[in-house]
Amino acid sequence: MSGATRHDEAQAAGPPARGRHRGAPACELVTLADIEEAAARLAGVCTRTPLVPSVPDASGLQIKAESLQPIGTFKLRGAYNAIARLPHERRARGVVTHSSGNHAQAVAYTAARLGIPAVLVVPHTAPAVKVEACQRLGAEIVYVEPSLEARIETAERLASAHGFTLVPPFDDPGVIAGQGTIGLEIVRQAPDVEVVLVPVGGGGLISGVAAAVKQLLPQTKVIGVEPELAADARDSLRAGRPVGWSVEQTGRTIADALRVPRLGTLTFAHIAEYVDDIVTVGEEEIRAAMRHLALHARLVAEPAGAVAAAAHLFRRDALPAAPRQVAVLSGGNVDPELLSQVLA
């Protein structure tokens, strides 16, 4: 089935009702206590990022600027939490992961900080700016084809052969709890927030943020945002079950960090339980949001990092009518040439 056909059917279906009855598998969800423990573990490692007004007026949108983390992405929260909580002897043997770039960099940074080996399985299509950052941190890079199956198979084989611990990029309770610290901070920084907009790739970020926000502010709406050209999470939420897209389809979007072709089992369970809706944005809207963030909020966003702001700017009719909204800017690791093109 084509992406366009999926889009038409999903739009016609309308937003789903929230809750477990939508077909989520029975999984143990991350608790608020898990997220608070992660926050304590991340103290002194991750930045408590600010909420920045998106424009110098009273539009109501604030940006949670995760681009200001030490490695330029929220991924450090989940990777560090997942690795730091491992038993010392297991951690010392090293870690392996698979990632399109940002999670790989987070694992490399964490490994360098903890003094342990790290091997990163990366698709050969990953942006050079992200791969080079991993190499500077001393990690070993293994290139594979850009399919999720190739990435997972290679990472699992390396873990088995060398005794490494596999640190998944999103479908892991430690990773989800670490990402949930963003939601914890949002609630503390803006206790009157009415809508939280979150980018969706594999679902780790929105799973953690939604778990934190909904357990603290049940009436606040949590809305996922993804590209129209990689809308598998929206289709999954509408269908009540995980729906996959092909690598060829998701590879069309400029938002390289959101090209994950399907949600994980654990992330889908969190999304089905806590997320109110998922909306999509177009490629030109993503580019325009990158320009807007650079020129008005003085924040550099990679394409994936700009999708939540793009929804507020261009898809307001698909969002709840509420003046107090926060959009998560998930990362700023953009190729300099692409950024110059977008700003031009």
> With contact defined as beta carbons under 8 Å apart, do 151 and 121 qualify?
yes
**Directed axis angle between helix 102-114 and helix 75-84, to 10°?**
40
**Directed axis angle between helix 75-84 and helix 32-42, to 10°?**
90
Query: Which among 67, 99, 236, 330 is annotated as catalytic?
Result: 330
DSSP state of 187: H
> With contact defined as beta carbons under 8 Å apart, do 330 and 97 qualify?
no
> With contact defined as beta carbons under 8 Å apart, do 305 and 332 qualify?
yes
- Residue 61's identity, in one-letter code, is L
> Reduced to 3 states, what is the DSSP secondary structure of residue 219?
coil
> With contact defined as beta carbons under 8 Å apart, do 304 and 283 qualify?
no
CA distance 91 to 79: 13
Residue 264: is it exposed, middle or buried by C-beta count within 10 angstroms (0-12/13-18/19+)?
Answer: buried
CA distance 340 to 237: 35
160 is catalytic: no
214 is catalytic: no
Query: Which among 75, 130, 214, 221 is annotated as catalytic?
Result: 75
- Which are the catalytic amino acids? 75, 330
